[in-house]
Structure formats: C-alpha cells, structure tokens
Structure 1
Amino acid sequence: MNAFDRVRAMLAEAGQVYRNDPAFGGTGAAHEIDRCAARLEEPLRIALAGTLKAGKSTLLNALVGEELAPTDATECTRIVTWFHHGATPAVRAWHMNGLSAPVPVDRRDGQLHFDVESLDPAGIDRLVVNWPSAELSRQTIIDTPGTASLNSEVSQRTLRLLTPKDGVPGADAVLYLMRMSTAADVNMLSELNRQVGGRSGPLGVIGVVSRADEIGVGRIDAMFSAKEIAARYSAELASSGLCQAVVPVAGLLALTARTLRQSEFKALKALCDVAPDDLQLAMLSADRFCRPDSVLPLDSEVRVRLIERFGLFGVRIALALLQSGSTDSIELSKQLLERSGLTELQSVIDVQFGQRADQLKVHSALNELSRILRQYPTQRVAPIRAAATRMLGDVHGFEELRLLGMLRSRKTSLTEGEQTEVTRLIGGYGTTPDDRLGLDPFETMTSGREAALAAAHRWRNRSSNPLNDSFTARVCRAGSRSAEGIVADLSASRVADHSTRRH
C-alpha cells in the first residue's frame, strides 16, 4: 500500500473511532477528520504569497491564462481568494461567522471585477471562485493579501492561512514572490519553512523574483540581470533551507503573452515600419512612447494600452522579436512567454509540485491528522497517531524534496557528475523512472530495472565512503533508496504485464 492509500485508510479508521466513541459525540472530531479526508482527494493547493505589490494577482492570471484575479488596489486584493475548477463560473464570499453569499461579478476590459463593497469586506474570511479552467483542474491556486502591509489585519489574513496557530497551513505548497530579498521576506520564509516544511526543511516553497523586468529598468536585457539576481537570492535562501528554487518572472509580460490579442499584434507590426531612429527615440521611456504628439503611427490611446498590457520591457522585446522574424501572433505569444520566465517557472512547478502532488497532500494530511488526534485524545487513536508520526519522519518522498532544496547550495564531496546523477535520481528533473534514470522509455522498459539495481548498489557503496561528510552520506543514502524504489516499481510493472498476458 502506497503512502497516499495508507493515509486514506488512517483517516477512515480515525473517523470511525470518533463516530463510535460516545465521549466524542458532541465534538467536531469526526467532522474535522472528514474535512481532512476530503482535502486529501482535492487538487493540490498552491498559495501565492509575498509583500504588498509583489505581483501575486498578475502571476496568478498568467498561470491560469485568464484575467481572473483583480490586480488593481480594490478590496478584493485585501481578501484571501481561492480559485477552484468549476463547471460553471461562480463566486461566493465566506464570512467570518461561517455564512456565505454570492458575489456579483462583471467583466470590464477583459478583467473580472468582484463587487464586495456591499458585503462588508472586513467581515469576509475568503472569496471562493469556481471557474472552468484546465489549469485549475490540476491545482487550486490561492491568492493572498500582501504580507508586511500597513494594515495589520490585511497581513494577518495571509498569516492565518499559511502559518496558523494550530500549525497546519491551508496550502500544500507556496510560491513566494519578492521584488528583492528583504528582512521581511526572510522572516516570512523562515516561518513558512517551519510551518509548511517542518523542522527538516521546506517541502514545497519556491521563490519568485517577480516583476523581474523592472530590475533592469525595462531594458531589453532585463531578464539576464534578473537571472543573475535570482541565482544570488537562490544561493542565499537555499543555503538557509528556505526555498527549493528561485525563478525570475516578468509577470505582466507572461500574462500578456498568454492573452495576446490580434489587434495588439497588428499594432506592434505597425511600429516595426517606423524609422529606426524615430522608434528608438520614442522607446526611451513609457511617457515618451505615450505622448500625444508622437510620430508613431498609432493613436495615443492604443500606445497607452500597449504599455499597460506589455510594459516598456514587453514592447521592446515584442518589437525585437517581430523584427527578427516572428510572423504571426501565435509565434510571438510563444516567444514572449519563453522570455517572460513563466515557462521555466511552470517547469519548476511541475517537477517540484505537480509530479509530487500526492506527496505534498499526504504531508499536509498527516500534519492535520496529527493535530486532530492531539486535540481529541483517546487510547483508541494512539496507534494511529504513532503511525502518522512515523510516516512524517519516514516517507522517502519527503526526504527527496528536502534534499533537492538543500543540494542547490550546500557543499558535498560529490563530483559534479555525481551530483547531477543523484539529483536526477531523487527526482530533480522529473519523477518517472525514465526521468530518474536518464533513459528513454524503451530503454527503461528493456533495461531500466538492471540500471536501477546498478545505481542502488553504486550509491549504497558511495554512502559508506569514509571521507564523506554527514550531508554527503545522507544524499548518497537517499540516492540508493530512490534507486531501490525504481527497482520495486519496475518489478511490479513486470509482474502486472505477465499477469495481463496470461489472462
């Protein structure tokens, strides 16, 4: 039985105990267990966190590919908002007293606007948005108010979700956005590390250098500067075990790339015909680009809208791509998306979160189950509590996630080739047997088991090297155990195949 099924069974057993025990008839123990079990079956919960104006709502829209989250400074940006997949669009406001009410929604200039003014925003605990979206069918995204806000109650809403007093966060994983690494960011990441990842390091925290194009003041090479800064932040934060990775993203450009309109493509194409000297002069600043008396062949309103949608950096990148050969809006959108950093972030999210969704949800469920069993103690749940404690310490997937974060910065006595191999083996480049072994699917099918056996033997021997420091030995043991897991999976697949052929 895998970890997911074991936790599911533990929750069912605990729920049965509480329902059948007269001492807990008037408590909410069974209800809390049921709620925990329901959460285990839901999509992974990813929260976007960060200080005020870090670009969380813009990044959420870019990830979903639609302008769902309001980005202007309305009451909605001060409320925790959950974005779920739903067959039909619907928005409800859940109040602090547990009651809920529908929220009127309208779309203006392509953006959703939630009317919460008549519902007393201060009394709203959260907004829940159901929206038909392929992205949201795989993960629930939670947009949180800015931490370190001047309004302490606004900041507390985020802290209650991510670092609650009972120690069980409402999110399974976190994207933490920052414009630069500040003391406030480090403090918040430290608390997230304690709450989300436990004492051994983070299980699901990725740092995002948001609004990365602003680091280079909108220059066309701004993302190169942002990548250098992100690498420095990554080293600083990962060395403390605070993030598994730090990725630079130009959120506005990413959103525009995913929602590029044909009219915008035509406007940009028209700018390509402008004399180079005139265009270069107009592109010196956003104000100069938008001036009514500009020689550019577009109305000032169109130019203002381009700056609002692309930013100066985005307009410069788009023009450079068009001048170098992009022929249609689809190709331009693809290239802008690549240069925004969103493609890299999506890849990191897939490897660190998506492919490990069950592990992250199991981790959250075990923490929640442990809390409930502590709150409602009885001798009959003592074995379940002991089993939950063992699983939190023993599940190898948790160890892989912790080590992936630490390997980015901590020194080992491994060679460069060995470090690349063990990173791949413990799932740093993907969690399928193909990804872990570095083989194509046919090779995995024909010789993967033998390759995994050899890797397990090699890393078991490497772990016993007397010159290893303790961290290197820990990494080697993890590599060996991961290889053993591949052997078990491939062996089970062979048995299943033989059984299928016989029948």
Structure 2
Amino acid sequence: MSTTDRVRAILGGTIEAYRGEPAYRQRADVFHELERIRSRLGEPIRIALAGTLKAGKSTLVNALVGDDIAPTDATEATRIVTWFRHGPAPRVTANHRGGRRTNVPITHRGGLSFDLSRLDPADIVDLDVEWPAQELVGATIIDTPGTSSLARETSERTVRLLVPADGVPRVDAVVFLLRTLNAADIALLKQIGGLVGGAAGALGIIGVASRADEIGAGRIDAMVSAKDVATRFTDELSRTGVCQAVVPVSGLLALTARTLRQAEFSALKKLAGADSAELNKALLSVDRFVRPDSPLPVDAGTRAQLLERFGMFGIRISIALLAAGITDSSGLAAELLERSGLVELRKVIDQQFAQRADMLKAHTALVSLRRFVQLHPVMATPYVIADIDPLLADTHAFEELRVLSLLPSRTTTLNEDELSSLRRIIGGSGTSPAARLGLSPQNYHDGPRAALAAVQRWRRRAEHPLNDPFTTRACRAAVRSAEAMVAGFAARR
C-alpha cells in the first residue's frame, strides 16, 4: 500500500469516527474540512512564490506558466494572494470573507489585468485564476504579496498563507525569491520551514536569486555574477537547514524567451547588423539606447519596447548571440531561456517538488489532519494520532527529504565523493533509479547490480566506528533507498 493510500485509509476511518459522534454528526463544517483535506491528495501540488516587495514574483509566475497572466504593476491585484490553477478557459474569481465568490472582469492586452474597481480589496481573501496552460496541469502556483510591503495588511496576507496561526499548511512547497539576504528573510524562511516540514524540518523550500540580470548591472556577464551571489546565499542559508539550494533566475528574460515575437527578433537582428561603434555606444546605458537621435537602424519607439521586454542584459546577450550565428527566433528563444536560469530552476523544482508531489501532499494532509483532530477531539482522536505519527516519522520518502535539507548545515565524516553519492542515492538529483544510481539510459540494465552494490557500500559506511549520529542517520537513509531499488528491480522480473 502506497503512502497516499495509507493516508486515504486514515482519513476514511477518521470521517467514520466523526459520523459516529453525536456532537459532530450534524456538523457540516467538520465534514467539509475533512473532505477538503482528503481532496487535496488528488489535487496538483501547491507551490507558493514568496519574497520581499519587488522581488519579481509575478514576473517569475508568468515565466513559469509561459504567458503574461500575473499582473506585475502596482495594482490592487498585486496586493492580494492569487492562485493560478489549470482550467478549460480563462476565468478569475474573487473569494470574499464569509465565503461569497464574485466573478472578476479581465482584459488580456499585452498582459492580463483584473478589474477590481467594483470590489473592496480588503474584503477579498484571495483570487482564483483559471488558465488553460499545460504548466498548470501538474502544479498550482500561488503568487503572494511582498513580505516587506509598507502596508502591514498586505504583508500579513502572505504570512497568513505561509505561516497560518492554526498550524495547518495551505501550501506544499515554497519558492522564496531573494534580492538580498537579511535577518527578516531568514526568520521568515525558518517559520515557513518549520511548518512545511513539521517538527522535523523543511520538506520543500527552494531559494531564487531573483532579477539576476540586475545583480551584474545588466552586463553581458551578469548571470555569472548572479551565480556567485546565489552560491553565497546557499552557503548562508545552509546554516539554517531550511533551504537546499538557491538558483539565479532572470524572470524578465525567461518570460521574454518564452513569448518571443518575430517582430522583436527582426528588430534585434537589425541592431546586431548595425555599425559596431554606434551599437557599442548605444549599449552603454539605457539613456543612450533609447535616444531619439540615435543613428541605429531601429526607431526609438521600438527600442523602448525592446528595453521593456528584454532589459539591457537581454538586449546585450541577444545581440551577442545573433552575432555568434543564431539565425532564427526559435534558436534565440532557446538560448535566452537557458541563460535566464529558468531551465535550471524548473529542473530543481522537478527534482525536489514534482517528483515528490505525492509525498509532499501526503505530508501536508497528515499534518493538517493531526491538527484537526486535536482541535475537534473525539473518542478516536488518540487512535488517529497513533496512526499518523509513525507515518510522519517513519515514511522513508519524508526521511530522504529531511536528510537532504539538513546535509548542507551539518558536519559529517563523509568525504566529498561520499557526500555527492549520498545526495544522489537519496534523490537529490531525481527520484528515478537511474538518477539515484547515476546510470545512463544505455547502462540501465546494470541497475540491479548497482543497487545491490549501493546497499552493501552504505551498510558498511553506516557502521563506521568514527561516525557521528547524523552521519549514521544519513548513511542508513541511503541504505533504505538502495534497498527499495533492489526490491523494485526484483518485482519487475
């Protein structure tokens, strides 16, 4: 029986227990909440984007979805928590305090705009946006207001979502955007990590060094500087044990790459073919680039539009790529997407979140159910908790995630090669047997032998007399991961 099936069984038994209690038998709100917890097991994983004001959250939402659907201007919509879900047709709904729902008029000219003029934003709990994007089939993305907003209520909306007072998680994983690293960010990350992972630590937080192209002042090597900053952020955050990695991303460049227009490609191609002396002077600054009297072969209005869409870094790297031999818009888009950092971020999201979606959702359901039965006690409450706690403590997939989150912040007796191998085998590079064992598709037939060798290797390492307790724990996790693969290969014979 899978972990999800075991959670469903616990929920089913809990619902029956409440039906047998006279005090709760007629409480529709109680059964609604229990059904809500159960239904979340079948929903897409919920990933929240959080960070300080102007960190670039909405732009990154747009880049991840591949369409300009999250408002990025300072409108009322950006001050409200917004849920982006998959739907057959575009639709926006406002959820009000008290449960009332209102359809919100939308326009989509250059970007999606929400018309909240007839509504009181203070009365809106959150917005639901349905959009027919393939990227939203497997994940619901939540855009949150900046946590350092001057309006206290705006910041508190995000805190209530990520660190709710009742201790019941609303999201499964968090992508936290950072432009600097300060005490407030670290404190909030610790709060989020404590809740997402329960008492045993974080299960799903990834950091993003956002607006990465601006870190290097828009220079052509800006992303190199951003990677250095991301490494520093990772080193600093590793001491907290709540954030496994920080990825540098230029959300603006990623969004432009995913929505590149042929007219923009043509304009960039003209610029790339301009007189090099004039072009180099124009690329020195924003003011020079948009000067009306510039002799460049593209008019000032078009140059201003390019600047808004690409930023100076995007324009500089695009011209360099065209000069290097890129011949079509699809080729340019692919190169820009790779350089934006979005490809790497999606890879990390896939490895840490998507491949573990069922585990993250099961964890959230168990924590939510435990809190619920404590707040609404019945005769069966001790038995429900007795079923939940061992599952939270012993389910190996949870242990893998906890060890992965703790590895950067703990001193071990493992050497670098052993650390790299351990991270891989407990799923740090993906959860498939090939990823865990470091096998190429051509050598996949070596899987059973490699898995058995891994069991033997990590058993010996777990028994090393000089191990500290955490090193032994991590090695035992590797043993269990390898044993699971041995069993899996045997079952396929």
TM bucket, shorter chain: over 0.9
Equivalent-residue separation in structure 1 for 2:367 and 2:321 (angstroms)? 49
Conservation of the 8 A alpha-carbon contact between 1:29 and 1:372: no
- Equivalent residue, structure 1, for 2:83: 82
| Aligned-partner SS, 1:128 | strand
| Aligned-partner SS, 1:117 | coil
- Equivalent residue, structure 2, for 1:338: 338
| Aligned-partner SS, 2:346 | helix
1:58 aligns with 2:59: yes
| Aligned-partner SS, 1:346 | helix
- Equivalent residue, structure 2, for 1:322: 322
Deviation at 1:21, TM superposition (A): 2.2
- Equivalent residue, structure 2, for 1:191: 191
1:232 aligns with 2:235: no
Equivalent-residue separation in structure 2 for 1:399 and 1:418 (angstroms)? 18
- Equivalent residue, structure 1, for 2:101: 100
Equivalent-residue separation in structure 1 for 2:378 and 2:442 (angstroms)? 52
Moved more, 76-85 or 416-425: 416-425
1:254 aligns with 2:236: no
Change (3 A) 1:410 1:99: same
Identity among equivalent positions (%) equals 57
Conservation of the 8 A alpha-carbon contact between 1:245 and 1:405: no
Equivalent-residue separation in structure 2 for 1:344 and 1:118 (angstroms)? 41
Alignment of 1:160-175 (within 5 A): 160-175=160-175
- Equivalent residue, structure 1, for 2:465: 466
Q: Over aligned residues, Cα RMSD in angstroms?
A: 1.2
Alignment of 1:150-169 (within 5 A): 150-169=150-169
Equivalent-residue separation in structure 2 for 1:479 and 1:242 (angstroms)? 20
Deviation at 1:415, TM superposition (A): 2.2
Moved more, 360-369 or 197-206: 197-206
Conservation of the 8 A alpha-carbon contact between 1:44 and 1:357: yes
Residue type of the alignment partner of 1:98: G
Equivalent-residue separation in structure 2 for 1:366 and 1:493 (angstroms)? 31
| Aligned-partner SS, 2:199 | coil
Conservation of the 8 A alpha-carbon contact between 2:425 and 2:481: yes
Alignment of 1:39-438 (within 5 A): 39-108=40-109, 110-438=110-438
| Aligned-partner SS, 2:406 | helix
Conservation of the 8 A alpha-carbon contact between 1:60 and 1:141: yes
Conservation of the 8 A alpha-carbon contact between 1:426 and 1:478: yes
- Equivalent residue, structure 2, for 1:500: none
| Aligned-partner SS, 1:7 | helix
Q: Deviations over 1:230-275 (max 9, x none)?
A: 0011011022112011001011001100100000000000001111
Residue type of the alignment partner of 1:415: N
- Equivalent residue, structure 2, for 1:29: 30
Conservation of the 8 A alpha-carbon contact between 2:169 and 2:367: no
Structure 1 gap segments, 5+ residues each: 495-503
Q: Deviations over 1:398-454 (max 9, x none)?
A: 11112222323533221222112111100111101111112245644x442232122
Conservation of the 8 A alpha-carbon contact between 1:426 and 1:436: yes
Equivalent-residue separation in structure 1 for 2:307 and 2:138 (angstroms)? 32
Conservation of the 8 A alpha-carbon contact between 1:282 and 1:288: yes
| Aligned-partner SS, 2:137 | helix
Moved more, 10-19 or 268-277: 10-19
Equivalent-residue separation in structure 1 for 2:291 and 2:100 (angstroms)? 50
| Aligned-partner SS, 1:125 | strand
Equivalent-residue separation in structure 2 for 1:493 and 1:7 (angstroms)? 26
| Alignment TM-score, normalising by the size of structure 2 | 0.98
Conservation of the 8 A alpha-carbon contact between 1:413 and 1:469: yes
Q: Deviations over 1:26-52 (max 9, x none)?
A: 432222110000111100000000011
Residue type of the alignment partner of 1:327: T
Conservation of the 8 A alpha-carbon contact between 2:241 and 2:408: no
Conservation of the 8 A alpha-carbon contact between 1:210 and 1:250: yes
Equivalent-residue separation in structure 1 for 2:446 and 2:225 (angstroms)? 44
Aligned residue pairs total 492
Equivalent-residue separation in structure 2 for 1:273 and 1:452 (angstroms)? 55
| Aligned-partner SS, 2:220 | coil
Equivalent-residue separation in structure 2 for 1:378 and 1:133 (angstroms)? 43
Deviation at 1:287, TM superposition (A): 1.5
Conservation of the 8 A alpha-carbon contact between 1:75 and 1:117: no
| Aligned-partner SS, 1:408 | helix
Deviation at 1:218, TM superposition (A): 0.5
Conservation of the 8 A alpha-carbon contact between 1:66 and 1:259: yes
Equivalent-residue separation in structure 1 for 2:200 and 2:378 (angstroms)? 29
Equivalent-residue separation in structure 2 for 1:272 and 1:39 (angstroms)? 51
Conservation of the 8 A alpha-carbon contact between 1:202 and 1:244: no
Residue type of the alignment partner of 1:41: G
Residue type of the alignment partner of 2:32: H
Residue type of the alignment partner of 1:124: I
Structure 2 gap segments, 5+ residues each: none
